[in-house]
Amino acid sequence: MAGARPQNRGNRSSNRVGATVSRRLRAAGFNVSPSARKHVYNGLFVSGKEGRATVLVDLGAPTKNKQVAAELIAEMADWPQAGDIDANVLSDGAIMLWVRYLSA
């Protein structure tokens, strides 16, 4: 067929961990910022690869970062797909969360 296109899952594949975690956090009421704003503006940024997601909490104030990170950990702990959650405070007061995310 001249107009036939190959069937593939494209962006709907199950290995898009960052998009899945970002979507679930938005559904839970968190304001997730677009990745293009990372390192330029303050915000909450999600990225992921191969069963691991990272969440950068950089809201400009260390106390606000700690509060939001605690809320994020509490939210993600309830997810059946979320495994280990590790947190690390960076030198500028931002908090990086690492989440092992199991595909359902």
**CA nearest to 76, candidates 50, 58, 43, 102:** 102
Domain range for 64:
14-101
Residue 6 lies in a domain: no
Mean pLDDT over 22-47 rounds to 90
User: What is the percent of the chain with per-residue pLDDT over 70, rounded to a whole number?
Assistant: 84
Residue 1 lies in a domain: no
Res 32 pLDDT > 70: yes
Residue 66 lies in a domain: yes
Predicted pLDDT of residue 57: 95
As for how many domains the chain has, the answer is 1
Predicted pLDDT of residue 49: 84
Sign of CA dihedral 36, 41, 45, 48: positive
Is residue 57 a contact partner of residue 44, using CB atoms and an 8 Å limit? yes
Work out the mean pLDDT of the chain and round it to a whole number.
85
Is residue 69 a contact partner of residue 87, using CB atoms and an 8 Å limit? yes
d(CA 66, CA 62): 6
Mean pLDDT over 42-51 rounds to 90
Residue 74 lies in a domain: yes
Chain mean position to CA 69: 12
Residue 59 lies in a domain: yes
Residue 32 lies in a domain: yes
Predicted pLDDT of residue 10: 60
DSSP string, 19-59: HHHHHHHHHTT--PPPGGGTTTS-EEEEEEETTEEEEEEE-
Residue 7 lies in a domain: no
DSSP string, 4-19: ------GGG-TT-HHH
pTM: 0.80
Predicted pLDDT of residue 8: 57
3-state secondary structure of 87: strand
